[in-house]
Copies of this chain bind each other. A is one copy, B any other.
Amino acid sequence: MITNTTIVVKLGGTEGVDFSAICRDAAALLEQGQRLVLVHGGSAEANALGEAVGYPPRFVTSPSGFTSRYTDRQTLEIFAMAVNGKVNTLLVEQLQSLGINALGLSGVDGQLLRARRKASIRIIENGKKKILRDDYTGTIEQVNAHLLNTLLDAGYTPVVAPLALSEMGEALNVDADRAAAMVAASLKAETLLLLTAVPGLLQNFPDETSLIREIPQVKLEGLLEIAQGRMKKKVLGAREALDGGVGQVIIADGRVEQPISNALAGNGTVIK
């Protein structure tokens, strides 16, 4: 069953997702020769650090209904500390302790992720449209697949934190689901696996019995309506990945014993 193709796994930062179970499962798959790239979030850690240092996060909603972190320069540095400094380092540590030669990178390293900066963003606040400036977020446009392949070929397992580099060389906060999608597309991965704290895409959120088990790529567009909150970005990421040549996208439960194997066995929402 194991081939030489690549699987990209996105680990959600949401509570309930068991990073150790994912790491153990990843170790077993790597043992069998699977090529694996991990991409992680870390919003919860960034929020906690922001609160701890007296600079709490601010979330904004776009006119089309997407929620994102407003990232001024200070928030960007807090985000880098939490996501690249803590989540990434501790994930690599955990994988190393399981015998996986993991190597952590953020998108600024070696220009791994290049993004277009959204210096001003339109938001809806109290029903009114506003423009926020000095935002350090971006939309990924290019992935340095050569760097990832160089590391994979040398036996390392890349662990990617969601920062990117702007055209001007500025560090930017990027969405981790879409980062995982772009990474998967750049590697022409067989599977992009988005692990989260629900069993997959739900017809009636949060009713877990309403799991949608399979979605043909052509019907994906319509599902942006059903997807709630963060799930919208996963659906968007799924579309970007499939458009980029990824074989299949699975949105699956990160809270189970063997989250990766479970998902690869078809448990979750399979989109292809």
Question: Which A residues fall within an 8 A CB radius of B?
Answer: 49, 52-54, 77, 80-86, 88-90, 92-93, 96-99, 101-106, 108-111, 146-147, 150-151, 154, 156, 163, 165, 168-171
Interface CB pairs A-B, < 8 A, 11: A49-B53, A52-B54, A77-B86, A81-B85, A83-B85, A85-B86, A85-B88, A96-B108, A101-B111, A103-B110, A150-B150
Q: Give the residues in chain B near A105, CB-CB below 8 Å.
A: 103-104, 109
What separation, in Å, do the CA atoms of A101 and B9 have in the docked complex? 26
Do A109 and B98 contact each other (CB < 8 Å), given the known contacts A49-B53, A84-B84, A84-B85? Answer: no
Contacting pair A110 B101 (CB below 8 A): yes
DSSP majority for the A interface? helix
Residue ID in chain B nearest A106 by CB atoms: B89
Q: Give the residues in chain B near A101, CB-CB below 8 Å.
A: 110-111
Contacting pair B93 A89 (CB below 8 A): no
Q: Give the residues in chain B near A146, CB-CB below 8 Å.
A: 154
Residue ID in chain B nearest A154 by CB atoms: B150
Partner of A110, one of B84, B110, B156: B156
What separation, in Å, do the CA atoms of A144 and B171 have in the docked complex? 27
Q: Give the residues in chain B near A102, CB-CB below 8 Å.
A: 109-110
